[in-house]
Amino acid sequence: MNKLPSFFLFILIWYLFSFFQIIPPPHTVAITFATLFIHGDPVLGRTILEHSISSLLRVLAGAGIAFLISIPLGISMWYPRVYSLFHPALEILRPIPPLAWIPLSYIFFASFPRPTLFAQIFIVFIGSFFPSFVAISDYARNTPYEYVELAKVFGADKMKILRHIVIPYSLPGIITGVRVGLGVGWMSIIAAEMIATSGLGLGYFIMVMYEVGGRVPEIISGMAMIGLIGYAMNAILLKVEERFPWCLQSEM
């Protein structure tokens, strides 16, 4: 798909808004972005890359822990007993937005060595866990009945069915879950960094720039970085998704 027309349309609309002095023009933001990338800002003394890496590491930690739990738990939802045990409780917790967990997380982790850091990782965990869990459990629970029956005819026990049918069938759900979970986790960390101080991170950077004032290009640069990283994460995982020959239905 040719993305250039969409890109140019976006830049054109941006210039239109900047003409009315609502926001600075794209070229001003581009210069600021480059300066922040190379030299950093004088207030915090860090480059935008350092802030990005810090946020990204928190997301990877929180989302990684979330996936370590959501993958096995999601697959195990194939068992009706596990499903009936966990599903109602998880359905109550699922609609609670990650940001609503912020105050409680600071209380939870107050006695930890770095409470802010742990609280932020926890917020990402919450943001990543539920989307990935839902995607994986949906795939696991929708494993075609005829495959399971056929496997039983070949003498497969429950463990074999799980290993050879349910898990392979859930693979697209795992990748989709990881992709969506990382996206939500990424959005959650920015909000968590804006609320509580962490010394580094894109959310923190944007908030400090706003507080000291006069730094709209810096704020937009931070937002652009958030968008770029989110886009890159999604694109990489979409590529991974494409490389796996798992569309069982199309093979049949």
Answer yes or no whether residue 180 interacts with another protein by CB under 8 A: no
User: 64 vs 230, which CB is nearer to another protein?
Assistant: 64
User: 101 vs 129, which CB is nearer to another protein?
Assistant: 129
Q: CB 212 → another protein: shortest distance, Å?
A: 5
Q: CB 88 → another protein: shortest distance, Å?
A: 26
Is residue 58 within 8 A of residue 121, CB to CB? The reply is: yes
User: 13 vs 240, which CB is nearer to another protein?
Assistant: 240
- Max CA distance (Å), the chain: 72
Is residue 60 within 8 A of residue 189, CB to CB? The reply is: no
Q: Which residues touch 25 (CB under 8 Å, ≥6 apart)?
A: 14, 15, 18
Report 210-249 residues binding another protein (CB under 8 A).
210-215, 244, 246, 248
Is residue 229 within 8 A of residue 52, CB to CB? The reply is: yes
Give the three-class secondary structure for 25. Answer: coil
> Binding another protein by CB under 8 A: which of 44, 187, 191, 224?
44
Closest CA to 175 of 238, 224, 249: 238
User: 92 vs 251, which CB is nearer to another protein?
Assistant: 251
The DSSP-derived string for 150-219 is HHHHTT--HHHHIIIIIHHHHHHHHHHHHHHHHHHHHHHHHHHHHHS--SSSHHHHHHHHHHH-S-HHHH
Residue type, position 33, single letter: F
> Binding another protein by CB under 8 A: which of 36, 48, 73, 117?
117
Number of residues that bind another protein (CB under 8 A): 50
The DSSP-derived string for 22-77 is SS--HHHHHHHHHHHHHT--TTT---HHHHHHHHHHHHHHHHHHHHHHHHHHHHHT
Residue type, position 69, single letter: I
Report 137-176 residues binding another protein (CB under 8 A).
147, 150-151, 163-165, 167-168, 171, 174-175
Region from 11-19, 38-46, 84-92, 221-229 binding another protein, contact rule CB under 8 A? 38-46
User: 101 vs 246, which CB is nearer to another protein?
Assistant: 246
Rg (CA), the chain: 22
> Binding another protein by CB under 8 A: which of 115, 138, 191, 234?
115
User: 1 vs 251, which CB is nearer to another protein?
Assistant: 251
x/- track of binding to another protein for residues 45-74 (CB under 8 A): x-----------xx-xx-xxxxxx--x---
Which residues sit at the interface with another protein, rule CB under 8 A?
Answer: 42-45, 57-58, 60-61, 63-68, 71, 110-111, 113-115, 117, 121, 147, 150-151, 163-165, 167-168, 171, 174-175, 178, 197-199, 204, 208, 210-215, 244, 246, 248, 251-252
